[in-house]
C-alpha cells in the first residue's frame, strides 16, 4: 500500500500543471472592425430610410412600447416607435486560410 505522504507529494507537484490555462485577450477595438456606418440612437425611421434605403427584412413590432427590427445586409436596427434605440453589426467571421496541401507519398 502506497504511503500517504508520497501520494500527497505527487499530487501537490502535479497541481500547478492542472491550474495553467491560456487566456486569449482581444482588445475591444480589434473585435471585428468595420467601416460600415450605423444609424445613430434617436434617429428617425424616415432618416434611416433616406440614408440606408429599404431594409432587406422588416420585422413586425413586438411589446409595449412597440420595438421593431429592420435587418440590412451587414447590420440590424432596433426602433422604439419611430426612433432608433440601437443598431448592431452582424457577426462576420474572418476568412479561414486553407491549409497547405501535403505532398503525397
Model confidence pLDDT, tens digit, residues 60-105: 999 999 999 999 999 999 999 999 999 999 887 776 666 667 666 5
pTM score: 0.59
Tell me what pLDDT residue 3 has. Answer: 67
Tell me what pLDDT residue 71 has. Answer: 97
Contacts of 65 (CB under 8 A, 6+ apart): 80, 81
Evaluated on CA atoms 72, 93, 40, 62, the torsion sign reads positive
Using alpha carbons, select from 81, 84, 54, 79 the residue that is nearest to residue 69. 79
Model confidence pLDDT, tens digit, residues 4-33: 777 778 777 776 655 566 777 766 555 555
Residue with cell 430610410: 49
Model confidence pLDDT, tens digit, residues 32-50: 556 778 999 999 999 999 9
Return d(Cα 56, Cα 45) in angstroms, integer: 15
Return d(Cα 21, Cα 78) in angstroms, integer: 39
Amino acid at each position: 500500500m502506497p504511503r500517504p505522504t508520497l501520494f500527497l507529494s505527487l499530487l501537490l507537484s502535479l497541481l500547478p500543471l492542472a491550474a495553467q490555462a491560456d487566456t486569449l485577450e482581444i482588445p475591444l477595438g480589434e473585435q471585428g472592425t468595420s467601416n460600415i456606418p450605423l444609424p445613430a440612437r434617436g434617429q428617425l425611421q424616415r432618416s434611416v430610410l433616406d440614408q440606408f434605403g429599404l431594409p432587406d427584412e422588416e420585422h413586425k413590432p413586438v411589446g409595449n412600447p412597440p420595438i421593431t427590427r429592420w435587418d440590412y445586409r451587414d447590420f440590424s436596427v432596433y426602433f422604439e416607435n419611430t426612433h432608433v434605440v440601437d443598431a448592431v453589426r452582424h457577426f462576420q467571421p474572418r476568412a479561414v486560410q486553407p491549409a497547405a496541401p501535403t505532398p503525397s507519398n
